[in-house]
Structure 1
Amino acid sequence: MAEMTKDARYLISSDDVYLMGKGEWYRSYDKLGAHPATQDGEDGYCFAVWAPGVTSVRLVGEFNGWDENADYLFETETGGIWCGFVPGVHADECYKYAIEPTPGAELIYKADPYAFHAQCPPDTASVTTDIRHYEWGDNAWMLERNKRKMLKSPLNIFEVHLGSWKRHDDGLNGNGTEPPAGERAGGSYLTYDELSVELVDYVKKMGYTHIELLPIMEHPFDGSWGYQITGYYAPTSRYGSPKEFMHFVDACHEAGIGVILDWVPGGFCKDAQGLGNFVGHKLYEEKEHPNWGTYKFNLGKGEVRTFLISNALYWLDQYHADGLRMDGVSSMLYMNFGIDDPSQKRFNSKGTEEDLDASEFIRRTNSTVERYHPDVMMIAEESTAWPLVTYPPEVGGLGFNF
């Protein structure tokens, strides 16, 4: 049975709730999600998830036989965060949240938005893990990065999708399963550890300064190349574990190669285990994207901004990324992006098509990254005539470096 969280490291304070609502709880991943803990002499995990306005949230997983009545979480007095400690939970156990939106309603099974690890698709559960205590070997790189003048340093980027660059010649599907009878697939994926040798050696030999990885956050559909995400805090399990991805970044740095991550705050996929209709109705999303069949984040909501800005800092803090390339900036900035029917177009309070919430979110993200990681590159995927993309926010710019 779940117990109330007592570990001070994971207690949700009133200040946390306040900052989350403002969109300024920038290290929310330190408490939300699943974290190993010891309580009253028993080892287990602390869990916490934002699910306001629901009747109950239960934890289901391998550790309780997926029993929806075994572990009810406890709601904070304000803020709609459900949390608890479950003794006996170990690393590498699958779990989900079973959310009861209204009394007696059918339960909704959701992956953990803040999960640090997830099952390899097509499986959809979150996985407990401990990402602490990885021994980084890139201190020299990080010190040199801090001294480097990024706008005056060479920049030659190799953009790559890890699952497409190279595969094993074994005739299997990417995830190592057998293809249909009589067919031969493209080969199983290289692991993070294999890529830390083969890809790093290739990039170094070809004279590149940086690798830009198409999104490595967990995603259900291979064909999306990672741009339709369900697990924003989990490196995809297609190629290995979170610590193995840390090792890949470490190997890049040891070879003198920087790592840029594609980051997708513009929208997320509709898959049932993901963020969409998280509490039985819209929570993270504002509306459907008119072109891409995905949901657009509600960037006017403080808790959503907290989720995303924390996520940007998470990849910089925990995985030592050297830059983030923000995907789909145009689709965020323009309220009518992809809308051709004049009758469906919207305008802001100023009578223009600028999405004021989105532009403020972008400025806040870039200024926050600048505050905590001034030596990290923020790169915009933006090809319209939007002015001042690389100017500082204080003069009306968006605050990107490139």
Structure 2
Amino acid sequence: MSTKLQMIVDDPYLEPFAATIYGRQKKTLDVLSKIEHNEGSLEEFANSYKRYGLNRTTQKENGKEVEGWSIREWAPNFKEMYLFGDFNKWDRATAIKLVRDEFGTHSGFIPDENGESRIKHLSKIKVFGITYSGERLDRIPTYHRYCVLNPKTSSMEAVVYNPEHPYIPTSPKPKIPKALKIYESHVGICTPEKKIASYDEFRERIVPYCKKVGYNTIQLMAIMEHPYYASFGYQVTNFFAASSRFGTPDALKHLIDECHKEGIIVLLDIVHSHTSANVVDGINMFDGSDGHYLLAGEQGKHPLWGSRLFNYNNYETLRFLLSNVKYYAEEFGFDGFRFDGVTSMIYTHHGVGAHTFDYAHYFSPNANEDALTYLSLVNILVHRKNMNCVTVAEDVSGYAGLCRTFEDGGIGFDYRLAMSCPDLWVEYLKTKKDEEWNVNHIGFVLNNRRWKEKAIAYAECHDQALVGDKTISFWLMDKEMYTGMSCLWQPSLIIDRGIALHKMIRLVTCMLGGEGYLTFMGNEFGHPEWLDFPREGNGDSFHYCRRQYNLVEDHLLRYKFLLAFEREMLHLEDQYPWLNKPNAYISKHNEGDHVLAFQRGAVIGIFNFHYEKSFTGYGIGVKEPGTYKIILNSDSSEFGGYDRITSQEYISQPIECDGLPNQIQIYIPCRVAIVLTKIN
């Protein structure tokens, strides 16, 4: 390549690794060229879900177009393969034998009889194969689109979903927002009731809630089918099946359509980093071989998760995964994807035991270049006009170029999760008293990210909500939340501190931490309990497997103040966008006073983290002369504060302060944050 990649131009420290970067680009282009030569285009390759698995189609027989079902599966270790099920009363003798081609793909066609489908809606099917060693194995087709859990066996079963009147979306897809404000969500826990909630309940309860609070993006977790509910959706068995425990595929389409109607985009939390080790109902050892779509032997086993790992160097694995992405975007209307476990994908050690990452590590043999090729291909695919999706990567290593375009030399993600943000708050809340909080360190960590690589900031996500960990509200208030959240009496010092810092932590993270913002459902109002799915260890209880929105709806409880603050913060970002602006300029980080001040876009954030000192006539440097107005005040009574700030406007003076030419003098009480903007 004659022109230097822009990523290397922007970051000269990448120059010593230029050969590796170019080599990885060439590898991706070589695989792309192979796909285009074999399939016609990358898009057509990703359309394979329309040909693989069980599909309604037409086929010529005796010169006539005949409607029916086609079935196709890649299973090279099967010498023979058959389809059977309810349609033939599970009789193996009359099972439909599929035709095997030279590549190990087995296919067949089941024509309709007398104008009616032989395989009925909601009937069950299976395939069975006979290996070259003579072993007979029953399996669920790997591309199957609807599976239901058999409570007696705790395994998934393949069910045919072909309603007479399928749901047809009516709302056009919204444009991708300039700055994502994400509500990370799990459908099953969206109710205060002790049960598994449905797609319909989520649509009716959470979608209007998100619209009202100000989230423009909903990220749906645990959609890809998984038999073990407590896995949080991260032990996927059936990649093309939207989880039936929440309802039908049509109900999910209706949910997404309702989001689009409200101008909200929807991301799928997609799990392509590993798969469940289940054999009976998963893709592991589908054709009896240890490899198939997966890596064989020990390298195909995740050392911590007990799951199996994909072979990204396998042509049919690429077909399977790329098809999976296009399927969810086209069939359900998902607007983008949050890729789980990217660190595990892109390193041969899967992040286990690796605590330090740097350029030498990113571009060393520790990297899994096959996985990097797959991630580059999927980003090339989804960013083309016909899909126009947004992608987010969960990577703890900070891989250089992960969120630069492929043309610039990167992998092509739009955003990475700013995982250092929650780590900062967990460390502070676990190990430091208020008086030990370092505002310089807080500002540096939140504001520190790779140039031209966008990040999603968050103070906490689902990881911090799980049993065994604590949410920010729990760290701050713990058991006091059970007795001290009533508005009918004065809050305790613990509750008072907790509410004040909860607001400040979320606001400073949102303003400094990235180009997008995320919260896990319930955390915005300080949900009082962790999340623990029903399992053997808790007596299969649903007590902690729910989000208690009833608490925030009760106007006698203080949770309403935290929600009101989150809502105002998000609406303010709509009015004075800062997330899509360059990194903030931090003008003040006074360690003795515990005061942090910065400007980002048109807003100035001032945070007094001091545990007891309030400041009168406190000087804050500003760039431009003029009048500055408070547009958000965490001490307002509508947010559970004390209305200690009476002045709303401040006129600057031409006095140098904080290295800036002008100064405003403010009153800033302890544990209070304010946001200002220049009005003239």
Same fold (TM over 0.5): yes
Answer with 1 or 2: which has the greater Rg: 2
Residue type of the alignment partner of 1:396: G
* Change beyond 3 A, Cα 1:154–1:277: same
**Contact residue 23 and residue 304 of structure 1 kept, 8 A:** no
Selected match of 1:303 from 316, 329, 336: 316
The amino acid across from 1:36 in the alignment is R
State the one-letter code of the partner of 1:280.
G
Q: Distance in 2 between matches of 1:339 and 1:240?
A: 36
1:137 aligns with 2:170: yes
Instruction: Give the distance between the partners of 1:315 and 1:26, measured in 2 at CA.
Output: 11
- Aligned mate of 1:194, from 186, 201, 207: 201
Q: How far does residue 359 in structure 1 lie from its aligned partner after superposition?
A: 0.6
Q: What displacement does 1:165 show? A: 2.3
- 1:104 lines up with 2:134 in the alignment: yes
1:30 paired to 2:38: no
- SS at the partner of 1:112? coil
Relative to 1, partners in 2 of residues 1:75 and 1:23: Cα closer, same or farther, differing over 3 Å?
farther
Q: Indicate whether 1:280 and 2:280 are aligned.
A: no
**Farther-moved stretch of structure 1 (110-119 vs 295-304):** 110-119
> Percentage identity across aligned positions?
29
2:380 aligned partner: 367
- What is residue 149 of structure 2 aligned with on the other side? 120
1:130-172 C-alpha deviation (Å, 9 max, x unpaired)? 3895321112xx2x41xx5x4xx242111011112215x4xxx
Of 69, 72, 83, the match for 1:48 = 72
The aligned residue for residue 218 of structure 2 is 211
Q: Deviations over 1:16-61 (max 9, x none)?
A: 99449x9972100111111124666876422111111321111121
Pair 1:16–1:84, CA change in 2 (3 A): farther
Instruction: State the alpha-carbon separation in 1 of the partners of residues 66 and 315 from structure 2.
Output: 35
C-alpha distance in 1, partners of 2:55/2:353? 46
Contact kept in structure 2, 1:119 and 1:126, CA below 8 Å? yes
Name the CA distance, whole Å, in 2 between partners of 1:258 and 1:154.
Answer: 12
SS in 2 for 1:317: helix
Q: State the 1:284 CA deviation.
A: 1.1
Asked if residue 292 in structure 1 is aligned to residue 305 in structure 2, the reply is: yes
Partner-residue secondary structure (3-state), 1:158: strand
1:246 Cα shift?
A: 0.4
Mapped to 2, the partners of 1:290 and 1:326 lie a distance apart of 20
RMSD in angstroms over aligned alpha carbons?
A: 2.7
- Give the aligned length: 354
Give the Cα–Cα distance (whole angstroms) in 1 for the partners of residues 160 and 350 of structure 2.
Answer: 38
- Which residue identity does 2:240 align to in structure 1? Y
Contact 1:389 1:399 in 2 (8 A): yes
Higher helix content, 1 or 2? 2
TM-score normalized by structure 1?
A: 0.81
Whole-angstrom CA distance in 2 between matches of 1:377 and 1:393: 14
Q: Name structure 1 gaps, 5 residues minimum.
A: 1-14, 170-185, 342-347
Partner of residue 69, structure 1: 93
**Distance across 1 between alignment mates of 2:105 and 2:37:** 8
2-structure distance, mates of 1:193, 1:385? 38
Tell me whether 1:81 sits opposite 2:88 in the alignment: no
Q: Which amino acid aligns with 1:223?
A: A
Q: Report deviation, 1:372.
A: 4.6
Counterpart residue identity of residue 71, structure 2? F
User: TM-score by structure 2 length?
Assistant: 0.49
1:269 aligns with 2:276: yes
- Other structure's SS at 1:244 match: helix
Displacement of 1:291 in angstroms is 1.0
Q: Which moved more, 1:224-233 or 1:31-40?
A: 31-40
**What is residue 81 of structure 2 aligned with on the other side?**
57
Q: Secondary structure at the match of 2:391?
A: strand
Structure 2 counterpart of 1:274, which letter?
Answer: G
C-alpha contact 1:380 1:400 (8 A) present in aligned 2: yes
Give the structure 2 partner of residue 10 of structure 1.
none
Aligned mates of 2:235, 2:243 — CA distance in 1? 12
CA contact (8 A) 2:188 2:198 kept: no
State the partner residue of 1:353. Answer: 366
Tell me, yes or no, if structure 1 residue 239 matches structure 2 residue 246. yes
Name 1:316's counterpart in structure 2.
329
Greater relative contact order (Cα 8 A, min sep 6): structure 1 or 2?
1
SS of 1:119 mapped into structure 2: strand
Unpaired stretches in structure 2, ≥5 consecutive residues? 1-34, 112-117, 355-360, 416-680
**Contact 1:113–1:231 (Cα < 8 Å) also in 2:** yes
Q: CA deviation at 1:288?
A: 0.4
Deviates more, 1:35-44 or 1:323-332: 35-44
After superposition, the Cα gap between the structure-2 partners of 1:373 and 1:327, relative to the gap in structure 1 and judged at 3 Å, is farther
